[in-house]
Amino acid sequence: MELKDKLLSSFMVFEDRLNDESKHLNEIRNEAINTFQQKGFPSKKDEDWKYTSLNALLKHDYCISPQQETAVEFKEIKKYFIHDIDTYKIVFIDGKYSSFLSETTHDGIDVCLMSSALNKPKYKIIIDSYYNKAAKSDHSLTSLNTAFASEGAYIHIPKNKVVEKPIQIIHFSTGNEATLMLQPRNLIVVGENSHVQIIERHQSLTSNVVLTNSVTEVFANKRAIVDYYKIQNDNQQASLIDNTYISQKQSSHASVHTFSFGGKLVRNNLQFFQKGEHIDSTMKGITIIGDKQHVDHNTLVHHIEPNCESHQDYKGIFGDRSTGVFNGKVVVEKEAQKTNAFQANNNILVDDKATINTKPQLEIFADDVKCSHGCTIGQLDKDALFYLRSRGIPKKEAKALLMYAFANNVLESVKINAIKTRINKLIAQKLGVNLGFDL
């Protein structure tokens, strides 16, 4: 049976089990499964998927709703946490919440589980006002997630709260049920004037095949500040489709940094919607991959109202036979005068067989705006390499230093030092060097 048919028939069984769910949610699910049924999985015929094929991933016979609970020892997985600073943690293993590994709270803020939020009456107002309101209802993979969504992180920060501790959302997969398909769903609602920092990671602990189709909705209310960090360094059999939707109100600031160092196939669909004036949206990324890895960044900033800014800066380093895609769309509506929109995508191809497809798309309907974009594809500068080698630094280390120099300005806007340190270590590891100092 094809995966699509399997999912459609599983939905009926899945739906029967959800007998206490509200009528509202039930309608959302039914609408979503209908959309998925109509659209199916995207193919290369879709303009947005021209350079990324899911075909190989869809051939597996996935376990769609794993029942088995798997215990994992903290010491085995400690390294995947940012553990040198105090954080809240929402941890899942094969899609199931692990209370043992998590550190949640209801003390003034809610950092807890989507399953609770979807079922308990006390969260109903928030769920009714926000859930599935930013996610695109006509997008097939997002709809597939919406149909099956049952677990993930639920974060609600009421107004005027500065959350000091970053919140880590970590999805582990063990693949103890062989080939696994996971569909986590996160909802993050940040009240007026509140600040929050979130770190998200998907990590497979075995070499079993896993496909994650994740949806995250973030709502930044007036003057809220949301900083989101995504660390993608999964193993060779793990693939991730990340769909993140960020809806911003007046004078809010939202940033997403995506660090893509691993995984078989990673697709980041990242969309910002500016629903107010004086909004700032930032999206940055460093991609360093090799082997036959594939990373695709598909971004959208929708400038709807006047006097807003957006900043995009993606750096990519591609080795071996890896492939990268950057497709960045900026839409500036007629009303969105005085928009400042910047986009940059710079890439280095380290090997002859590596590929990058980069495509900026600007759709500007306003006439008083500043929009710039630039993309470059290059190789390492030979003069620079000679300079470093002439100081006694061997070729491999010299290349690594140059690649680091190329990518590191993306780290300047990272506000959590522990993350900077971690990313620097991952970069050094990814480049296979030990320089005797932390980059």
Partner 1 sequence: MLHIKNLHAGIEDKGILKGINLEVKAGEVHAIMGPNGSGKSTLSSVIAGKEEYEVTDGEIFLNGENIEELGPEERAHEGVFLSFQYPVEIPGVSVTNFVKTAINETRKAQGLEDMPASEMLKKIREKAALLEIDRKFLSRSLNEGFSGGEKKRNEIFQMAMLEPKLAILDETDSGLDIDALRIVANGVNKLRSKDNAVIVITHYQRLLDHIVPDFVHVLHDGKIVKSGTKELALELEEKGYDWIKQEATI
Span from 98-106, 123-131, 240-248, 407-415 in contact with partner 1 (CB under 8 A): 407-415
Residue 93 or 407 with smaller CB distance to partner 1: 407
Question: Is there binding between residue 415 and partner 1 (CB under 8 A)?
Answer: no
Options 44, 120, 353, 395; binder of partner 1; rule CB under 8 A: 395
Question: How far is the C-alpha of 383 from the C-alpha of 404, rounded, in Å?
Answer: 16
CA 317, CA 354: separation in Å to the nearest integer?
9
Token pair of 227, please? 């900083």
Instruction: Give dist(CA 372, CA 256) in Å, integer.
Output: 20
> How many residues of this chain interact with partner 1, rule: CB under 8 A?
27
411 near partner 1 (CB under 8 A): yes
**Is residue 389 a contact residue for partner 1 (CB under 8 A)?**
yes
Considering the rule CB under 8 A, would residue 402 count as an interface residue with partner 1?
yes
DSSP of 193-241, one letter per residue? Answer: T-EEEEEEEEEESSSS-EEEEEEEEEEE-TT-EEEEEEEE---TTEEEE
Give how far the C-alpha of residue 232 lies from the chain's centroid of Cα atoms, to the nearest Å.
Answer: 8
Does residue number 431 form part of the binding site for partner 1 (CB under 8 A)? no
Given 11, 219, 245, 404, the residue binding partner 1 (CB under 8 A): 404
Residue 331 as a binder of partner 1 (CB under 8 A): the answer is: no
Whichever of 119 and 424 has its CB closer to partner 1, that residue is: 424
Q: Which residues contact 120 (CB under 8 A, 6 or more apart)?
A: none
- Candidates 231, 356, 388, 419; binder of partner 1 (CB under 8 A) is 388
Closest distance between partner 1 and the C-beta of residue 390, in Å? 5
| Contact of 373 with 362, CB cutoff 8 Å | yes
Give the distance from CA 94 to its chain's centroid: 18
425 lies in the binding site for partner 1 (CB under 8 A): no
**Residue in 74, 100, 365, 386 binding partner 1, rule: CB under 8 A:** 386
Neighbours of 7 (CB within 10 A): 23
Applying CB under 8 A, which of residues 371, 384, 416, 418 lies at the interface with partner 1?
Answer: 384
392 binds partner 1 (CB under 8 A): yes
Name beta bridge partners: 328: 299, 360
Nearest approach, Cβ of residue 362 and partner 1 (Å): 28
Q: Is residue 401 involved in binding partner 1 (CB under 8 A)? A: yes
Residue 104: which residues within 8 A CB-CB, separation 6 or more? 88, 89, 90, 111, 112, 113
Which residue, 27, 35, 244, is CA-closest to 137?
A: 35
Q: Binding segment for partner 1 among 79-87, 126-134, 165-173, 390-398 (CB under 8 A)?
A: 390-398
Residue type, 83: H
69, 128, 335, 381: residue in contact with partner 1 (rule CB under 8 A): 381
Interacting residue with partner 1 among 45, 75, 79, 382 (CB under 8 A): 382
Beta carbons within 8 Å of 427's beta carbon, 6+ residues apart? 261, 286, 288, 403, 404, 407, 439
**Residue 20 or 383 with smaller CB distance to partner 1:** 383
How far apart are CB 420 and partner 1 at their closest, in Å?
A: 11
> Per CB under 8 A, which of residues 19..78 are in contact with partner 1?
none
Segment interacting with partner 1 (CB under 8 A) among 151-159, 236-244, 368-376, 379-387: 379-387
Find, among 273, 28, 269, the residue nearest to 149 by Cα.
28
**Which of 56, 405 has the CB closer to partner 1?**
405
Give 377 or 393: the residue with its C-beta nearer to partner 1.
Answer: 393
Q: How far apart are CA 405 and CA 91, in angstroms?
A: 34
Query: CB 410 → partner 1: shortest distance, Å?
Result: 10
Sign of CA dihedral 85, 89, 94, 100: positive
Contact residues for partner 1 (CB under 8 A)? 381-384, 386-395, 397-398, 401-402, 404-405, 408-409, 411, 435-437, 439
